Structure 1
Amino acid sequence: MKSINSELPVVVTGGSGYIASWIVKYLLEEGKSVRATVRSLKDNKKIAHLLELKDQFKDKLTLLEADLLQDGSFDQTIEGTELVIHTASPFFVAGIKNAQKQLVDPALQGTRNVLESCNRVSSVKRVVLTSSVAAIHSDNIDSLQVPNNTFTEEHWNTTSNLTHQPYAYSKTLAEKEAWEIQKKQTRWDLVVINPSFVMGPSLSKRLDGTSVEFMKNMLTGVFRTGVPDTKMGFVDVRDVARAHILAGFTPNAKGRHITSAEVIPMLGVAKIVKENFGKKYSVPTGNLPKALVYVIGPFFGLSWSYTKNNIGQPLNLNNEYSKSDLGLTYRSLNETFVDHVNQMQTSGLI
């Protein structure tokens, strides 16, 4: 049981990221001081939304540079703090040329570097880590091996590797490493957040995020001919941000937390958009036959093995522990997708 001093600054790594930006905003709105790390302070485009928060909250927000792959890079940032929220990790599933270099190294090395810094800085009491449901399961077909096709926090992804679902593999390795490092000491404890596919309004106007890209494809006719008949867990980015803060400041919080509002078919996203925006967007109206996904899937980064293991397979995610342990409540996916579309429109992204 760790009680965190809310007068001390909270460290958020990867501060300009989709989830992290909301964590930073909420912490500042609650009157807390934040030290957020970014890759480069010179990249004004990437950190524009954080600079806006800095204008608003002044000295309450400190932006610092840190490199996931550099030993000791986080020592100074973490000095004198009790709570570290480590969100920094690459998230993309398409266009991967070297999975080891693009995904595994930054996820694994980054986690190692941040936690080794926590070991060196004697004030740290708790680390909250952003993992993923990808560390719990790889493909939907894996659900055939678990009771009621339902994954819980007890389960671990055992079927990903460097060539199959490398993103899921990187998250699994990084989370396992975090638990190993945590076990070797007793001063700080580890609380892990495992979100499903994170959607909802972004605080930045960037287009390079996987979630934004997914929604853009959904709205602009890329999936016009139909979508794969696959189920996915979805969760609002604002609820995921709240989960991290609750995990940090709830003294009894412990373990892993599946953070997912609902599992719906991919077509369910299109249905919600159509219900709310009518014919404004060119959303898909049906599922693609599996045979066709084998043919055109690779153009969208869907390998044959992905198609085989996910199309038409069951999937359930049990989110009860996130509610009971953290007191988290979930907003409806209707609100998530509507707010997401509106934000993209306002930001000129569609």
Structure 2
Amino acid sequence: MTQIDPAAPVLVTGGSGYVASWIVRQLLEDGRTVRATVRNPQKPKGLEHLHALSDAHPGRLTLHQADLLDQGSFTPAMEGVELVIHTASPFLLGKVKDPQAQLVDPALDGTRNVLASVNATDSVKRVVLTSSVVALHGDNCDVKGRPVTEADWNTTSTLDHQPYPYSKTVAEKDAWAIAEAQERWDLVTIHPGLVLGPALTTSSVSGSMDTMKHFTDYSLTLGVPKLYLGVVDVRDVARAHITAGFTPEAKGRYLTNADTVSMLAIGRILAASFGNKLTFPRMIAPKAAVKLSAPLAGLTREYVEKNVGHPLAYDSSRTTAELGIEFRPVAETITEHYQQMIDDGLAKA
């Protein structure tokens, strides 16, 4: 069991990110002191939400400069910290020109650099790492319809096929190897599905945002692939990280997914709340047509073959039982996400 002093500061890496921002906010609302790393604390735009949180919680949030590829840059912010929540990692979908440089290096080298700082900081007792369901499986066809659990590992993704899942898998495996090579601190990993829900900033760039933009740009008007996605609310993901950090008995991997929905189901959820817009899909596109046009959408035909039409399910019962996370309904998450897009001017009312 690992006891974390509630008065000690908590370090959150990549503090301006979509998930990390909610972690920072919830920690502050819980009464914790937070240190958040960002690449440039003096950046004129993109950190307004963190400055607002700092103003709302005087003296309890500080920003610290650190870069995933800058060795040792996380060490100064870690002094006196007992809990490190490492969320910083790229999430890009579609056309990635250099997967090694854009995905694998930041995920793998970044994790190594953060954990090297952890090894150099005697106060640290626990690291909570943001992994993903894609570290549990690569393609939907891999699981053959059975529920995915924390016992699964992605064994099919490579640098050439599914490079983002590959980057998350190799980074997590490396993290476990580093953790097992010492005895002072322990590692807990969080495995969300597609994270949706209201954002605290419009500056976040991620695959989550890109997925929802497809429901605003008419790209799905003529039909949507029969593709199933695990979906979870960003606020529940944030709470899972925090609870995993402060629960002494927490250990291992925690799958955090509320439910599995199809792209068409997402369109129907949006139509029920916002009307039958032309941007919302009304029908399933034939798989052959999806495969033919895949390169235009930044996808490979191999991806379409191995994912479109294949059922998908996740078992998050361990997270509910051990961390007490009760997931929000997916319809609520999707509706509130789209409403936030309207409020931010990213979608028409």
Paired letter, 2:53: L
Which residue, out of 240, 243, 265, partners 2:240?
243
> How many equivalent pairs are there?
347
Where in structure 1 are there 5+ consecutive unaligned residues? none
1:73 offset after TM fit, Å? 0.8
| Aligned 8 A contact 1:152 1:258 in 2 | yes
Distance in structure 2 (CA, Å) of the matches to 1:173 and 1:344: 33
- Residue 168 of structure 2 corresponds to which residue in structure 1? 171
Aligned pairs for 1:53-64 within 5 A:
53-64=53-64
Q: TM-score, normalised by structure 1?
A: 0.97
| Aligned 8 A contact 1:207 1:213 in 2 | no
- Residue 189 of structure 1 corresponds to which residue in structure 2? 186
1:281 offset after TM fit, Å? 5.8
Distance in structure 2 (CA, Å) of the matches to 1:15 and 1:285: 38
Deviations 1:128-174 (A, max 9, x none): 00000010001000012xxx622111110000010100000000000
Q: TM-score, normalised by structure 2?
A: 0.97
Distance in structure 2 (CA, Å) of the matches to 1:208 and 1:126: 28
Partner secondary structure for residue 57 of structure 2? helix
Distance in structure 1 (CA, Å) of the matches to 2:182 and 2:256: 27
Q: Percent identity?
A: 51
| Aligned 8 A contact 1:220 1:281 in 2 | no
| Aligned 8 A contact 1:220 1:283 in 2 | no
Partner secondary structure for residue 129 of structure 1? strand
Deviations 1:225-264 (A, max 9, x none): 1111011100000000000000001110011011100011
1:220 offset after TM fit, Å? 3.3
- Residue 78 of structure 1 corresponds to which residue in structure 2? 78
Deviations 1:5-37 (A, max 9, x none): 010110000000000000000000111100000
Aligned pairs for 1:1-350 within 5 A:
1-144=1-144, 149-206=146-203, 208-280=205-277, 282-350=279-347
* Structure number having the greater helix percentage: 1
Deviations 1:96-116 (A, max 9, x none): 111110000000011001111
Paired letter, 2:116: E
1:301 offset after TM fit, Å? 1.6
Deviations 1:311-348 (A, max 9, x none): 11121111111111211110001110111111111111
Summarize the Cα distance change of 1:114–1:65 in structure 2 as closer, same or farther, 3 Å threshold.
Answer: same
Distance in structure 1 (CA, Å) of the matches to 2:44 and 2:130: 25
Distance in structure 2 (CA, Å) of the matches to 1:126 and 1:207: 27
Where in structure 2 are there 5+ consecutive unaligned residues? none
Partner secondary structure for residue 102 of structure 2? helix
Paired letter, 1:177: D
Paired letter, 2:336: D
Distance in structure 2 (CA, Å) of the matches to 1:55 and 1:95: 39
Distance in structure 1 (CA, Å) of the matches to 2:223 and 2:264: 8
When structure 1 is superposed on structure 2, of 29-38 and 148-157 the one drifting more is 148-157
| Aligned 8 A contact 1:28 1:34 in 2 | yes
1:182 offset after TM fit, Å? 0.3
Distance in structure 2 (CA, Å) of the matches to 1:47 and 1:226: 37
Distance in structure 2 (CA, Å) of the matches to 1:39 and 1:96: 22
- Superposition RMSD in Å: 1.1
Distance in structure 1 (CA, Å) of the matches to 2:173 and 2:204: 31
1:207 offset after TM fit, Å? 6.3
Distance in structure 2 (CA, Å) of the matches to 1:5 and 1:281: 52
1:206 offset after TM fit, Å? 2.5
